[in-house]
């Protein structure tokens, strides 16, 4: 019997609540399909920061390296820890620590979920955003300097307003040829595997970012030549954002640098009914554990009320199972979620119902177990 070690980090706010339901469903499908999961929970996040002065212990990456996958609920409690500290202390620390370079976000609306567009029909939308997650503007390079500091002497002379400022902030983005190439290769392979439109769309902005984005574009052209069976196209990110709303049915796989991908993926969540329906995976090249996290954040305003929507967390569980090679379990979980949402009998308040987080999790567990048993 296959057995997997899972590190579960509930995190903050509603994180522990939705993680609890995901682990409930995991136990059920593992029992039905005959594989084992040893789950170890870690109490890291803003609460841990209050007690220890940091979001995770110094040996967190070493500890997590012993697991097959990492399942993260949510991180963030702005009233307790500054957002930039919380994000870098857990999510980015794990992404960078394990080189989880591919943030993958599927966009396939669920029948019965809130849907904002008059057209197209929700059934016509089925695409995936593949975001480079370890380079670009999120490296944290740069700093804040007095305008007369020697570090920014050349910059201060570029604009009159710079010279009139008390302080300058420099945020440096770095794009590597190898980093661009590996995320693009993953995107093209995914387009081949999906067999939908056979298309990869690159998000770029070379007309305004003439260094990083021209490198991105050049590598995209090279990678495209190695995948002649896939249609390759590019679009400036501002126009592409409009396309996400106006013509989402024309998308198949979108590949994007870190900052653009971050913005586009949250926009794409609106097509699913909101962040409560948006799953996510941070994938490695297989040498280290990948991390799986729903996209909704910690939602401190409803934490502890038992009304959080666990849909994104459950779909994220399906992504984790697929990555582990448990395809039957992944299909059962996703189909179970879709069945419960489509039937509409069990709905959390954000969907117009009165069900609790636990009731939603229980309904999906029952549906997934039945589907898993049917094979």
As annotated, the active-site residues are 138, 205, 238, 262, 266
Locate 99 and state its tokens. 């080189």
Between strands 3-11 and 69-74, the pairing is: parallel
Q: How many CB atoms lie within 10 A of CB 140?
A: 12
By C-alpha distance, which of 240, 222, 261, 264 is closest to 136? 261
Q: Any idea what DSSP says for residue 76?
A: -
Q: Are 194 and 252 in contact (CB under 8 A)?
A: yes
Specify the 3-state DSSP secondary structure of 7. Answer: strand
Q: Any idea what DSSP says for residue 110?
A: P
By C-alpha distance, which of 62, 333, 120 is closest to 243? 120
Can you state the angle between helices 15-33 and 311-324, rounded to 10 degrees? 40
User: What count of Cα atoms within 13 Å lies in the side-chain half-sphere of residue 325?
Assistant: 7
The C-alpha atoms of residue 124 and residue 105 are separated, in whole angstroms, by 17
The C-alpha atoms of residue 60 and residue 52 are separated, in whole angstroms, by 13
Instruction: Please list the helix, strand and coil fractions of the chain in percent, rounded to the nearest 5, in that order.
Output: 45, 20, 35
The C-alpha atoms of residue 104 and residue 179 are separated, in whole angstroms, by 15
Q: Are 264 and 256 in contact (CB under 8 A)?
A: yes
Task: Give bridge partners of residue 106 from the DSSP assignment.
Answer: 128
Conformation bin of residue 140: beta by default, left when phi > 0, alpha when psi is -120 to 50 = left
């Amino acid at each position: 019997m296959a057995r997997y070690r899972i590190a579960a980090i509930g995190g903050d706010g509603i994180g522990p609540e939705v993680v609890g339901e995901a682990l409930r469903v995991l136990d059920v499908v593992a029992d039905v399909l005959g594989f084992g999961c040893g789950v170890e929970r870690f109490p890291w996040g803003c609460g841990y920061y209050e007690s220890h002065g940091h979001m995770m212990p110094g040996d967190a990456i070493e500890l997590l390296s012993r697991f097959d996958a990492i399942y993260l609920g949510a991180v963030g409690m702005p009233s307790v820890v500054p957002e930039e500290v919380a994000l870098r202390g857990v999510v980015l620390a794990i992404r960078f620590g394990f080189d989880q370079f591919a943030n993958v976000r599927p966009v396939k609306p669920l029948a019965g979920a809130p849907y904002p567009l008059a057209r197209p029909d929700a059934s016509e939308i089925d695409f995936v955003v593949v975001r480079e997650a370890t380079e670009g503007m999120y490296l944290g390079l740069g700093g804040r300097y007095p305008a007369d500091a020697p570090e920014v002497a050349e910059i201060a002379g570029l604009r009159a307003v710079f010279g009139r400022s008390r302080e300058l902030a420099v945020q440096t983005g770095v794009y590597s040829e190898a980093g661009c190439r590996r995320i693009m290769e993953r995107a093209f392979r995914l387009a081949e595997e999906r067999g939908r439109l056979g298309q990869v769309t690159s998000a770029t902005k070379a007309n305004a970012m003439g260094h990083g984005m021209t490198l991105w574009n050049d590598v995209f052209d090279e990678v495209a030549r190695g995948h002649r069976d896939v249609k390759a196209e590019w679009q400036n990110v501002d126009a592409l954002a409009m396309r996400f709303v106006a013509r989402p049915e024309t998308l198949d796989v979108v590949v994007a640098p870190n900052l653009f991908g971050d913005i586009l993926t949250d926009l794409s969540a609106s097509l699913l009914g909101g962040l409560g329906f948006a799953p996510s995976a941070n994938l490695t090249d297989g040498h280290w554990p990948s991390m799986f996290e729903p996209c909704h954040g910690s939602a401190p305003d409803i934490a502890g009320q038992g009304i959080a929507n666990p849909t994104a967390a459950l779909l994220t569980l399906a992504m984790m199972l697929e990555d582990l090679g448990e395809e039957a379990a992944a299909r059962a979980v996703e189909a179970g979620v879709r069945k419960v949402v489509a039937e509409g009998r069990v709905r959390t308040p954000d969907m117009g119902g009165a069900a609790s987080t636990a009731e939603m999790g229980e309904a999906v567990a029952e549906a997934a177990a039945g589907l898993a048993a049917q094979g």
